[in-house]
């Protein structure tokens, strides 16, 4: 291990003993230091434990870079060996394990991870998550008493067949997930129960919604009272400026309240977008056949548009998909659902009838 910011290299000299007994199978004995360095090791135990900790918490390349900063000279291969030693040193006959799947490639290939619940270490990684693979592994480890798993049916069948003596339990994450889904479905079926419940017992999201409704009701009451005051002062003959000064509001608000037939309803104001100024120009050229986004972006940028090219492209995407518009996609909407095997299949299987009728050659 480094000392005072400097790497340390230990040159250790040991004593060697020779046995004079002719019947002894081992003639040479070398002095051992089990707490300091193992036989034939090139690093001390403290150094090896530090590398093992890095190999567990970080990826190998990142751990190698951090080791250089910490003055622990090592390589990626050495860190991999240390991680392999940690995995091999786990209990070979676990009694409580956890089963779950993980993705080699998300949406494509999945495997199974097996964790020792007592030591919290990974025992093994299986190539897939099928029932046969998990069942074979469980038969090779007959001492298992507890299996924690998700709600997958493959794991349940494999555990019931290969380890009938084991107690199957659902892990905490999936229990909470399923409980939340059940509660959400219950609330959707009985929405009136939230309105009848005590606000203090409602969840935070429901309390926030109730608070928003209360605030809206208060704003409506204030708007109604203000409207009645404006109408009363107008009937008394006061001018708009006098009413505005008396009530502490703007003259435009007084005008709007005087002209309204009833209590005005406040509508959320939409912020004007920069692209709205150029929509007539864009629509005109789009209908004329100019649908190159880069050309349109250069044209409106010369007129003062400061938005990006990608923003304009995302906005014009909705014009391409409008029905009846020039440039709209006329291909079938199921084309992106075909797999590579179905797309290369010469038979019309996997292609909808609309594709085959509209373009038989394309369907084939």
Instruction: List the chain domain ranges.
Output: 16-88, 96-176, 204-259, 274-320, 331-364
pLDDT (tens digit per residue) in 224-259: 999 999 999 999 998 988 898 888 888 888 888 888
Which helix (H) or strand (E) is 166 found in, with range?
A: none
Which pLDDT score, from 0 to 100, does residue 321 have? 58
Q: Which of 211, 210, 208, 215 is nearest to 196 (CA)?
A: 210
Confidence of residue 327 (pLDDT cuts 50, 70, 90): very low
Report the alpha-carbon distance of residue 197 to residue 187 in Å, rounded.
12
Q: Identify the band that residue 364 occupies on the pLDDT scale cut at 50, 70 and 90.
A: very low
Query: Does the CA dihedral 202-205-208-212 come out positive or negative?
Result: negative
- For 221, 233, 250, the CA distances from 265, given in Å and listed in that order, are 11, 21, 17
Superfamily of 96-176 according to CATH: Ribonuclease H-like superfamily/Ribonuclease H (3.30.420.10)
Q: What is the pLDDT of residue 195?
A: 60
Mean pLDDT of the chain: 79
Look up the pTM and report it.
Answer: 0.36
CB 148 within 8 A of CB 98: yes
What phi and psi values does residue 321 have, to the nearest 5 degrees? -100, 0
Residue 360 has a pLDDT of 41
């Amino acid at each position: 291990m480094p000392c005072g910011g400097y790497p340390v290299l230990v040159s250790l000299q040991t004593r060697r003993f020779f046995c004079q007994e002719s019947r002894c199978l081992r003639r040479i004995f070398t002095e051992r230091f089990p707490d300091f360095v193992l036989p034939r090791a090139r690093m001390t135990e403290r150094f090896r434990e530090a590398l093992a900790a890095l190999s567990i918490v970080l990826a190998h390349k990142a751990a190698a870079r951090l080791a250089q900063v910490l003055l622990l000279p090592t390589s990626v291969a050495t860190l991999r060996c240390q991680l392999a030693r940690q995995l091999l040193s786990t209990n070979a006959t676990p009694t409580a394990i956890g089963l779950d799947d993980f993705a080699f490639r998300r949406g494509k290939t999945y495997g199974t991870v097996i964790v020792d619940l007592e030591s919290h270490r990974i025992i093994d990684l299986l190539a897939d998550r099928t029932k046969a693979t998990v069942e074979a592994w469980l038969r090779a480890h007959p001492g298992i008493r507890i299996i924690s798993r998700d709600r997958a049916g493959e794991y349940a069948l494999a555990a019931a067949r290969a380890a009938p003596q084991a107690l199957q339990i659902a892990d905490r994450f999936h229990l909470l997930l399923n409980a939340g889904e059940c509660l959400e479905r219950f609330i959707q079926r009985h929405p009136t129960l939230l309105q009848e419940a005590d606000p203090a017992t409602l969840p935070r999201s429901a309390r926030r919604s109730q608070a928003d409704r209360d605030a809206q009701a208060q704003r409506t009451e204030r708007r109604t009272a203000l409207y009645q005051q404006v109408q009363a002062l107008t009937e008394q003959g006061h001018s708009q400026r006098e009413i505005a000064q008396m009530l502490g509001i703007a003259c435009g608000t007084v005008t709007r309240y005087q002209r309204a037939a009833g209590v005005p309803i406040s509508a959320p104001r939409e912020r004007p977008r920069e692209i709205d100024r150029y929509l007539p120009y864009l629509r005109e050229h789009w209908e004329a056949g100019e649908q190159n986004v880069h050309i349109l972006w250069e044209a409106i940028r010369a007129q003062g548009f400061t938005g990006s090219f990608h923003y304009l492209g995302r906005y014009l995407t909705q014009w391409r998909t409008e029905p009846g518009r020039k440039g709209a996609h006329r291909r079938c909407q199921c084309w992106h659902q075909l797999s590579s095997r179905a797309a290369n299949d010469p038979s019309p299987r996997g292609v909808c009838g609309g594709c085959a009728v509209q373009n038989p050659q394309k369907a084939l």
